[in-house]
Amino acid sequence: MSAYTPKRLKIYIYGAPVLRKKTAPVEKVTEAIRRLTQDMTLTMYDDDGIGLSANQVGESHAIFILGASAFEDDRGDSVFLNPEILEMSEETELQEEGCLSIPGIRENVPRSLTIRLRWQDLDLKIHEEIFTGFPARVIQHEYDHLNGIFFTDRISSVRKMFIKSKLSELASSQS
């Protein structure tokens, strides 16, 4: 079997219907799923991202990846299949976020400081871990994508009014 060379995928932009649909669970890890995660990793790094969900590249699977820089330890790039946030702290933190699917817009978003996450890896082995701070924020952002939610859905109504025309422009460029 020859080695797979990952390819860059198209990142879908705000307004694309696939981004608002809840993704489907991964029941079986096929070669296509493995290749998708490699393609997603390449695509994320090519666009200077820190995380990427499958629906952002047009695939409605419950998968997201995080680059090594999303973590505060020495783990590398990570693949999360069928993630589920089990607990979220009441303590929140406001921090600026951006998104590869919403280019040119950055806003302060409140997120839980600590979360407990359960997910599967590419061998469908179940993991459970508590994440705090920046990793928790990035996971919540990507997890939202899998449920059809953008970071702009979580900002104040006043801020939403300020960016409404920019979002409309992005959405109309997708039709």
142 is a catalytic site residue: yes
Q: Torsion angle, CA of 66/68/74/76, rounded to 10 degrees?
A: 80
**What mean pLDDT, rounded, does the chain reach?**
96
- Residue 101 has phi, psi (to 5 degrees) of -90, -5
pTM of the shown model: 0.95
| pLDDT confidence tier of residue 173, bands split at 50, 70 and 90 | confident
Q: Which of 59, 97, 107, 142 is catalytic?
A: 142
Per-residue tokens: 91 = 């303590």
Residue 36's identity, in one-letter code, is L
Residue 2: is its pLDDT beyond 70?
A: no
pLDDT of residue 91: 97
84 DSSP β-pair partners: 118
Hey, is 133 helix, strand or coil? Answer: coil
Q: Using the structure block, give the residue that is written with the tokens 């932009």.
A: 13
The domains found in the chain, sorted by start residue, are: 17-172 (3.90.45.10)
